[in-house]
Amino acid sequence: MKLSVNLNKIALLRNARGENYPQIEYFANKAIDLGVDGLTLHPRPDHRHATSDDVINISKLTKARGVEFNIEGNPFSKPNKEFIGFCELTDIIKPEQITLVPDAIDQITSDHGWSSGSHDSELKNLIHLLKENSNDAQVSLFIDNIEGVDYAAEMGANLIEIHTGAFAKAINDKNLSIIDEIKKIIDHAISLNLKINAGHDLNLNNLHYLVEMGNINEVSIGHAIIVDSLHYGFEETISKYLEIIRK
Ligand code: PXP
């Protein structure tokens, strides 16, 4: 299993003061030095955390350091003031992975996955174009149920990212039946030749359940890594996550 560290929260902290401190590049390099497999940014059209420039700079850094860059966001987000636009950004940076999320502009965080709707044919065309214009990036659809797996296959995605918000809540409530639900999603994705990523609300307490399930290509983790860094420091925190993942 690979670990992609989401650096959005470092951008959020930086933006609180308007200067370039803390510097995202510094923590990007540190995470790579410690052995993470990739970095993720999820720029929002209002630039409230990662900006378009951050995406361009960090994707250059990951290319130079030989790790993967994963850009997350809504492919229908158009250019808006300083925001370059989601598809426009992917054309510029040629990321290794593009994770599409159906988030609304004012949504606090990604809280649901894709489902069928009036956007279907436009999304399918966009996925085709995203692959073509980015030298065959792997395209992943954020999903939160088994129907989402069929939808991702229909849309031409290479991967699904399982939204693990409900999983994290259930584990927190000691409701382990969620494990079988996630396993069903994994098995169905395998049967359709889709690779499997997972993300949202993963932390040091729930991550090992996913590792034990097997067949997960990558987890993307942001919020808990920054919170845990307040306790343990960034380096020790990344090492703790890698220790669980590499078991
Ligand atoms: N995956 C997606 C699609 C997300 O939007 C986010 C949050 O930006 C994450 C994973 C990471 O979630 P968390 O910050 O809770 O680890």
pLDDT at 130: 96
Length of the chain in residues, anyone? 247
Known active-site residue 47: no
pLDDT at 136: 84
Cα of 195 from ligand 1 centre, angstroms: 18
CA atoms in the 13 A half-sphere facing the CB of 100: 28
- In 3-state terms the chain splits into helix, strand, coil percentages (rounded to 5) of 45, 15, 35
Of 91, 105, 110, nearest to 47 (Cα)?
105
pLDDT digits (tens, 9 = 90+) for 136-186: 899 999 999 999 999 999 999 999 999 999 999 999 999 999 999 999 999
pLDDT at 154: 98
Known active-site residue 231: no
Residue 111 pLDDT grade (very low, low, confident, very high; cuts 50, 70, 90): confident
Cα of 199 from ligand 1 centre, angstroms: 6
If one counts the domains in the chain, the total is 1
Q: Spell out which residues line ligand 1, taking CB within 6 angstroms.
A: 6, 8, 42, 72, 99, 101, 109-110, 142, 161, 199-202, 220-224
For residue 101, is pLDDT > 80? yes
CA distances from 244 to 1, 3, 31, 206 (A): 10, 10, 16, 10
The pTM assigned to this predicted structure is 0.97
pLDDT at 247: 81
Structure tokens that stand for 185 in this block: 């999603």
Domain that holds residue 119: 2-245
Give the domain CATH number at 26.
Answer: 3.20.20.70
pLDDT digits (tens, 9 = 90+) for 69-82: 999 999 999 999 99
pLDDT at 105: 77
For residue 110, is pLDDT > 80? no
How many angstroms separate the CA atoms of 124 and 13, rounded? 36
28 near 39, Cβ under 8 Å?
yes
Burial letters for 157-176: b for 16+ Cβ neighbours within 10 Å, e otherwise?
bbbbbbbbbbbbebbeeeee
pLDDT digits (tens, 9 = 90+) for 18-46: 999 999 999 999 999 999 999 999 999 99
pLDDT digits (tens, 9 = 90+) for 82-100: 999 999 999 999 999 999 9
The catalytically annotated residue of 42, 49, 163, 188 is 42
pLDDT at 102: 96
How many angstroms separate the CA atoms of 231 and 125, rounded? 45
pLDDT digits (tens, 9 = 90+) for 5-20: 999 999 999 999 999 9
